[in-house]
Amino acid sequence: MADARPFHWEYQEPPVQREAFRVEGGRPLRGDVPISGSKNASLKLLAAAVLTGERCRFTNVPEIADVRVMVETLRDLGVVVDHPGPNTYEVAAGDVDWLFVPLEAAAKMRASFILLGPLLARFGRVIISNPGGDRIGRRPVNLHVEAMERLGAEIAYRNGYYFASAPGRLRAGDVTFPTVTVMGTENALLAATLADGHTRIHPAAQEPEVDDLISFLRKMGAEIVRTSPDTIEVEGRRRLRGADHRVIADRIEAGTFIVAAAVTGGEVTLREAPCTHLDAFLEVMDRVGVPVHRDGDDICVRGVPGGGEYRATDITTAPYPGLATDLQPPTAVLLGRAVGTSRIHETIFEDRLEWLEELARMGAQVDILDDHNATITGPRPLRGSEVEMSDLRAGASLIVAALAAEGRSVIHGAHHVRRGYENIERKFLDLDARIEHVSEG
């Protein structure tokens, strides 16, 4: 490796600072809320900046914990990362002197594994930890590793680390995934930009965050074409240049605030919301009966007080352009306010429905049938309760449920939400919510 520091330390999980939200529910949300830049896009864009030694500048980056972890990880590698103002980051990877992504980064954020492709492509070697992340089911990285091997990398797994090398230069090839993988597509795409020859990726994820990454890579000089909705082709280049880029809006945050307005019977306008990236979700809102109006880059939502006029409907998560799995938890809160029984079919993660047990503590009538299916029958009034966040999206959805509930709720595990939502309590306070963030010892 580029640095001779010994590889013999033992990792110990640092204690997590316990945090909670206290929420007084039963108040309709009213006002305007700005939608932040996309978490999922920002992390991959920051990783892409190591493909060049020139400066890259990103705006509309959300100020969230996951971005801070990625920035710290890049700095530990020797990358220069400046933060000249709110939501703006400048990255210069002129020299990377420590090609090692440790367990600390992986334990805090699964997306640290996105550094495999760009570091391997540009520097020819890297040691990277098996990743951690939210507890929402098995998310193996074997597809990423196999994609790198298809591009000529040699990878060995020892003691929880992948030791990857590509003598000379990665070689282009066909990367065929057995199933759609978003971060696997992104890792293969990043590696292929500097590989020797023509790479074809299929089936390639169609998420807007992937296309945002492609847009940035093209600004850097990469030759990338999406030749069909699920196929990406890349002609490798010897080097890429620096570029400036504005991160797209976060469609998951937008969906969360749409549901919050609907379940509280409020009236909220989402500013700079990604209307064109929410078609499947907005189609569900239409079936349920949530009044949503698109006005340019804004989305206006007028909730029904009490939710008694909302209609039950069945939902199934799917890769884009289907209903995002990250929007399943907030949608479930809404279905609990609808008349009748709704069925949720979760096709992406086998543990993603476990959080519904916490929603049931608040009064929702939930029946978890198996790892992938559940029913919710409504309308049932929610009551203030003490509940626990288990992951990022479930955490935000419990806040939404608490805002609609009568009485006080205490939601433990607030650090999960800080990973992906910028100033979430401030945004809700500006909508006339009663929410307080507190530390717990």
The per-residue pLDDT for range 14-61, each reduced to its tens digit, is 455 689 999 999 999 999 999 999 999 999 999 999 999 999 999 999
- Do 298 and 434 sit in the same domain of this protein? yes
Exposure string of 358-373, with b = 16+ CB inside 10 Å and e = fewer, is: bbbbbbbebeeeeebe
Q: How far apart (Å, rounded) are the C-alpha atoms in residues 240 and 193? A: 8
Q: If you average pLDDT over residues 220-240, what whole number do you get?
A: 98
Please say if the pLDDT value at position 136 is more than 50: no
- Do 348 and 425 sit in the same domain of this protein? yes
- Do 213 and 298 sit in the same domain of this protein? no
> Number of structural domains, the chain?
2
Confidence of residue 132 (pLDDT cuts 50, 70, 90): low
- Do 66 and 213 sit in the same domain of this protein? yes
- Do 231 and 254 sit in the same domain of this protein? no
| Percent of the chain topping pLDDT 70 | 94
Q: Could you tell me if residue 5 is inside a domain?
A: no
- According to the model, what pLDDT value does residue 107 have? 74
pLDDT greater at residue 6 or residue 254: 254
- Do 264 and 178 sit in the same domain of this protein? no
Please say if the pLDDT value at position 66 is more than 70: yes
Give residue 28's Cα distance to chain centre: 28
Range of the domain at 298: 19-36+249-439
3-state SS, 87-118, equals CEEEEECCCCCCCEECHHHHHHCHHHHHHHHH
- According to the model, what pLDDT value does residue 4 have? 36
**Final residue before a domain boundary, out of 220, 246, 272:** 246
- Do 199 and 258 sit in the same domain of this protein? no
Q: If you average pLDDT over residues 361-383, what whole number do you get?
A: 96
- Do 279 and 231 sit in the same domain of this protein? no
- According to the model, what pLDDT value does residue 339 have? 95
Q: Could you tell me if residue 123 is inside a domain?
A: yes
pLDDT tens digits, residue range 99-123?
998 877 777 788 899 999 999 999 9
pLDDT tens digits, residue range 78-106?
999 999 999 999 999 998 878 998 877 77
Please say if the pLDDT value at position 310 is more than 80: yes
- According to the model, what pLDDT value does residue 307 have? 65
Q: If you average pLDDT over residues 428-436, what whole number do you get?
A: 97
Beta-bridge partner residues of 171: 196
- According to the model, what pLDDT value does residue 12 have? 43
- Do 294 and 397 sit in the same domain of this protein? yes
**Final residue before a domain boundary, out of 246, 263, 282:** 246
Rounded to a whole number, what is the distance in angstroms from the first to the last CA of the chain?
A: 41
- Do 340 and 406 sit in the same domain of this protein? yes
Q: What is the CATH number of the domain that holds 150?
A: 3.65.10.10
- According to the model, what pLDDT value does residue 276 have? 85
- Do 224 and 299 sit in the same domain of this protein? no
- According to the model, what pLDDT value does residue 104 have? 79
Q: Could you tell me if residue 55 is inside a domain?
A: yes
- Do 61 and 188 sit in the same domain of this protein? yes
Q: Could you tell me if residue 13 is inside a domain?
A: no
Q: What is the mean pLDDT of the chain?
A: 92
Please say if the pLDDT value at position 8 is more than 50: no
Q: Could you tell me if residue 4 is inside a domain?
A: no
- According to the model, what pLDDT value does residue 17 have? 64
pLDDT tens digits, residue range 321-349?
999 999 999 999 999 999 999 999 999 98
Q: If you average pLDDT over residues 217-236, what whole number do you get?
A: 98
